[in-house]
Amino acid sequence: MDSRESARFAKVDDASSFIAEERFAMFLASQKVVMEAIVTTKGRFTIPAELRRKYGIKPATRIAFKQVGNAVELRPITPAYIDSIRGILQNKPGEKPMTQQLIKAHAAEVVRDEAGVAE
């Protein structure tokens, strides 16, 4: 490939790159996305300051990632988030705590095992 062909392919690559960027911009607009970040080669990105302030994200805040269909949901693991999930594993009224249920099940299993060995 000579230099003229290389230049022609470079122009095509630049044009298709421009078209791809325009399509991506139109997609973002259609999704009502108002902020974006660029991922570095090391997989890092910066969360916009407005979102960091709104959700209380400070240096060393852990972030939980969750796949939702074709999207990724990010949730900062802050005291407010922990408070919001507190109690989701509570026992239902009249139900024994899970630890008591596990201890009882284990005791029954030990009795069965010992009975099987004695036979």
Q: What mean pLDDT is predicted for residues 25-42?
A: 77
Predicted local confidence at residue 18, as pLDDT:
67
pTM: 0.45
Q: Strand 62-68 to strand 71-77: parallel, antiparallel, or no bridges (unpaired)?
A: antiparallel
Q: How far apart are CA 1 and CA 5, in angstroms?
A: 6
Predicted local confidence at residue 46, as pLDDT:
93
Buried b (16+ CB within 10 A) or exposed e, 95-104: eeeeeeeeee
50 has a pLDDT exceeding 70:
yes
* Tokens linked to 104: 């009882």
Q: Tell me whether residue 34 is exposed, middle or buried, using C-beta atoms within 10 angstroms of its C-beta: 0 to 12, 13 to 18, 19 or more.
A: exposed
Predicted local confidence at residue 8, as pLDDT:
46
Q: How confident is the model at residue 7 (pLDDT cuts 50, 70, 90)?
A: very low
Q: How confident is the model at residue 45 (pLDDT cuts 50, 70, 90)?
A: very high
Span 51-95, pLDDT tens digits: 899 888 899 899 999 999 998 999 898 887 777 777 777 777 888
